[in-house]
């Protein structure tokens, strides 16, 4: 057991070194779950924040705060925060340019992964399923200002989010295009898509595309009129 004088000395040293009041310091409340510098937690449940488009991060913070996404810890943490502060926080993480983890190995046969890639690249016109690349970018690294990348995410996280859209646990402003897409996909397609995406290495340029290459194939609330 440490003597009282040593404990007092340690307290005095701690008090003499005040915590800096910076946004990076305050953002440590986020990295406790989302991983160091927002690089993602190792369990695959909490996603990466670093480098995502600021508009996307901001809209998701609003969705948690305003009840469109349901996760009590997030909602309670940001409930008292203003729009301006959430926008500042989103900008902080969006500006971080950090390495991505290695991809996960796929376990499905090559033909199933090829069908998944066809959906990613071309969609399915017969079911009004747009290609993922139409919004998430040709490199699947996202599109400014508000579409996230699909690479560098764990398969568990991708499965969880598509499942949340199908069940209504995750929602966006209407029209909720991702909810419609998730409900159109079959279980087998979701399994193949998440395996394909999680197994892809990040391209040399991992930044979001500056803008959509063509008009969006669907109207999505909060992004396009």
Residue ranges in the chain assigned as alpha helix (H):
4-15, 23-26, 28-34, 54-66, 72-78, 83-94, 110-122, 133-136, 155-167, 177-184, 187-198
132 annotated to a ligand binding site: yes
Instruction: Return d(Cα 201, Cα 208) in angstroms, integer.
Output: 15
1 annotated to a ligand binding site: no
Category of 203 on φ-ψ map: left (φ > 0), alpha (ψ -120 to 50) or beta: beta
177 annotated to a ligand binding site: no
Do residues 134 and 122 touch, judged by C-beta distance below 8 A? no
Biggest CA–CA distance in the chain, Å, is 77
- H-run or E-run covering 215: none
220 annotated to a ligand binding site: no
135 annotated to a ligand binding site: yes
34 annotated to a ligand binding site: yes
Residues 6+ apart with CB under 8 A from 43: none
In the chain, DSSP finds a helix count (H) and a strand count (E) of: 11, 0
What tokens does 99 get? 């390495």
202 annotated to a ligand binding site: no
What tokens does 89 get? 């926080």
Binding-site residues sit at 30, 33-34, 74, 132, 135-136, 178
Binding-site residues for heme c sit at 30, 33-34, 74, 132, 135-136, 178
């Amino acid at each position: 057991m440490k003597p009282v004088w040593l404990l007092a000395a340690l307290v005095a040293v701690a008090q003499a070194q005040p915590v800096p009041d910076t946004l990076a310091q305050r953002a440590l409340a986020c990295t406790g779950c989302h991983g160091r510098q927002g690089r993602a937690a190792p369990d695959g449940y909490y996603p990466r924040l670093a480098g995502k488009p600021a508009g996307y991060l901001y809209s998701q913070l609003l969705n948690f705060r305003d009840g469109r996404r349901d996760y009590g810890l997030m909602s309670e943490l940001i409930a008292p925060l203003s729009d301006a502060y959430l926008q500042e926080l989103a900008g902080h993480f969006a500006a971080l340019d950090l390495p991505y983890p290695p991809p996960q190995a796929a376990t499905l046969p090559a033909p199933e992964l090829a069908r998944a890639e066809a959906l990613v690249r071309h969609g399915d016109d017969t079911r009004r399923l747009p290609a993922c690349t139409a919004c998430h970018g040709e490199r699947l690294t996202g599109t400014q200002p508000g579409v996230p990348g699909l690479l560098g995410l764990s398969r568990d996280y991708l499965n969880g989010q598509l499942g949340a859209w199908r069940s209504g646990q995750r929602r966006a402003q209407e029209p909720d295009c991702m909810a419609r897409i998730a409900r159109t996909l079959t279980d087998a397609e979701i399994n193949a898509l998440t395996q394909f995406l999680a197994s892809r290495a990040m391209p040399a340029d991992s930044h979001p595309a500056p803008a959509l290459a063509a008009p969006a194939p669907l109207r999505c609330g909060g992004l396009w009129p």
